[in-house]
Amino acid sequence: MKSIKLLPLSLGLGLLVSAQVFSQEQDTLDYREGYGLVLEQQWNDAQAHFIEFQSDWPESAWVDDAAFWNCYAIEQSEGGTDQTEHFNCYQNFVQNYPNSTWIADARSKLAVLGSRLSDLGYPQYISGILNDSGFDFDFDTAEFEETIREAMELAEEEMERLREQGYDVPAIIPPIPPVADLIVIPDFDEDDFVFNFDEEQIEEMRENAERMRRNFDRVRVEVDNTRREVRRIRNSGDDELLTIIGALRDDERVSEVLIQRLETSENPEFRTRIVLLLEDLPGENITSTLTDIAANDEAEGVRNAAILVLLDRDEPESREMLLEIATDQDYPVSVRSEILDEMEDWNPDVVLPILSSVLRNETNPILVSDAADTLSDMETAEALNILTSAYESIDNVELQHQILEEIADVDLPNVIGFLTDVALTANDDVSAAVAIEGIADREDNMSVAALENIYANTENLQRRLAVIEGIGDAETEQSVVILSQIIADSDTPEITASAVRALGGTDLESAVAPVVNAYQSNDEDAVRRSAIRALRRLDEFPAANDALLDILEERLNEAGN
């Protein structure tokens, strides 16, 4: 398989696509040459090229694009270590091109850079951003307060976990002021700001916040039928025991009594129930008892229950054994799957080789999917490299598709470039479709740019149709521009009809006019049917309803004649 190069594209930054997108004007060709340098990570050359472009083509529709990519190249270049230089470049862009489609992206970059500079002891940078009238703080405060509450709960859990592992963390989290106070930006003096955290502490806070964000966003797919069964046994058969244990949950004698019954009972079902009851109890001997059961008990069901309880208790002393089980084919897939699914926050130096081994050596789609999902959730460059290497080396197409879907979920700058290359070079249309869908799911400027690039560089009809659908799903004004241009340039009814349908999916009023024009200027039945469907999806806008009424009258007249 062709080796796929990861491209350094920052998520949330997109190539502006205008009506010139398919033209061969000299300024367009010149601009694309510079954009090619960006894709090749030639930052110094890209910077020089875009500076020259702005001088040579001051009236070009691409001049604001060139100015933006100039700032981006400065930020990415090895010599561009001064973050104030990056900030000033984007700030000048905002001042010089206030009407650019890039303005939101530039402000996002300013927000990130301003936050970093503020952390380094320069609060005036973030202050200037927050006081900029271009930022919209109009949001639902009730919903935001709920988000804060949930985040605080996760923070409490994370701090408790760190305390259990021996870290020195505060006993409580300082209360957060009301949302109304958060969004009012008071005047302040720089001397009033005292930063008591060193860089290592700040980085640790950021890592903890990122871990909590992943846990909060993670949607877990349950594949463990065995675990559902043991939960059923626990919930249905042990209500009274749970009631008693709940009243004595802080008394370590409860675990001693249960462990004693484990040692004297020979009934596997009864012993399984006792193992499950140990899950949330305190006690010095619980982990060693469960570890011994997981390794040596004669009954498979009891062993599996002990493994699952150890996994839920999440104690470092049991992880070595759990890691060994994860790659041991003598254990059920359901149990190994549970372990793989919980590795996200374990020591990456230990976990990454295990996950890589599963991707290389396993053929069970559940295990491959779980390993790939955990790597995806880790969202590190090392984890992404394992995923991309596995995708390129595996021959099983079904497993390739599973891995590719997980790559698409990684929120790292390199991913869109990888998916773009897959969409253009994959041997099968299904892989290309998975890659295209992964790009389209981002629904931002970058995804629109990547999809436009794929459309312009492939003649494969199925891939072009998938691209068109993805552009419509992005629901941006640039989607309307690109789809309108595709309609204007296409002489293939299937392409035209698909682009018209995609306009209906944008949910934007600006899409109504090109849909109406496509209906009026095209005699193909497929295109006209697509236009009617698109107008129906856009019927929240008066212009779409007016167009549908006109079409109705036209059809009635035709029927009458």
The residue type at 462: Q
Give Cα 153 distance to the centre of its chain: 23
Nearest CA to 421 out of 396, 388, 384 is that of 388
Structure tokens at 351: 């976990």
- Residue 156 token pair: 């409490």
Render 430-445 in DSSP notation, one character per residue. Answer: HHHHHHHHHHHTT-SH
Q: What is the dihedral of CA 393, 396, 402, 404, to 10 degrees?
A: 40
- 198-212: pLDDT as tens digits: 455 445 554 554 444
Amino acid identity for residue 375 in this structure: L
Burial of 45 (0-12, 13-18, 19+ CB in 10 A): middle
pLDDT value at position 477? 86
Tokens, residue 51: 């500076």
Locate 313 and state its tokens.
């208790």
CA distance 348 to 351: 5
Q: What is the pLDDT of residue 42?
A: 83
Q: Residue 13: what pLDDT? A: 34
What is the Cα–Cα distance from 234 to 274, expressed in whole angstroms? Answer: 9
Residue 444: phi and psi, rounded to 5, are -140, -175
Alpha helices in 187-238 (DSSP H): 199-217, 225-237
How many other C-beta atoms can be found within 10 angstroms of the C-beta atom of residue 62? 23
Phi, psi torsion values for 516, nearest 5 degrees: -60, -45
Q: What is the pLDDT of residue 364?
A: 84
Please name the residues in contact with 373: beta carbons below 8 A apart, sequence gap of 6 or more: 221, 341, 406
pLDDT digits (tens, 9 = 90+) for 25-71: 788 888 888 887 887 778 889 999 999 999 999 988 889 989 988 99
**332-352: per-residue pLDDT in tens?**
888 888 889 888 888 889 889
Amino acid at 371: A
Give me the residue label for tokens 């995708």.
391
Q: Do 386 and 375 contact (CB within 8 A), yes or no?
A: yes
Size of the chain in residues: 561
Distance between CA 436 and CA 222 in Å, rounded? 27
Asked whether the beta carbons of 424 and 458 are under 8 A apart, the reply is yes
> Residue 222: which residues within 8 A CB-CB, separation 6 or more?
228
Determine the pLDDT at residue 34.
86
| The predicted structure's pLDDT at residue 277 | 77
Backbone φ, ψ for residue 366 (5° rounding): -65, -45
Give the pLDDT of residue 227.
44
Q: Using the structure block, give the residue that is written with the tokens 């009243």.
A: 247
Q: Which amino acid is at 467?
A: V
Distances (CA, A) of 345 to 125, 163, 351: 34, 16, 9
pTM of the model: 0.55
**From the first residue on, what is the mean pLDDT of each consecutive set of 10 residues in the chain (561 residues)?**
39 36 67 80 88 91 89 76 83 89 80 76 67 45 51 60 58 46 39 42 50 40 42 45 51 75 80 79 80 85 86 84 86 85 87 90 86 90 92 86 90 86 89 89 81 90 91 87 91 92 92 93 90 91 91 81 64
Q: Give pLDDT tens digits for 251-267.
A: 667 778 778 877 877 88
| Buried-exposed string 545-554: b where 16+ CB fall within 10 A, e elsewhere | eebbeebeee
Q: How far apart are CA 513 and CA 534, in angstroms?
A: 11
CA dist 2 and 425 (Å) reads 8
Reference 310, options 271, 273, 276, 340; nearest CA is 276
Q: How far apart are CA 356 and CA 387, in angstroms?
A: 8
d(CA 508, CA 383): 38
Say what angle helices 239-247 and 225-237 make with each other, to 10 degrees: 80
The pLDDT, as a whole number, for residue 178 is: 45
Per-residue model confidence (pLDDT) at position 251: 61
Domains of the chain: 26-130 (1.25.40.10), 141-217 (no CATH)
Residue in the block written with tokens 């944008």? 506
- pLDDT at position 171, please? 52
Positive or negative CA dihedral for 375, 213, 14, 538?
A: positive
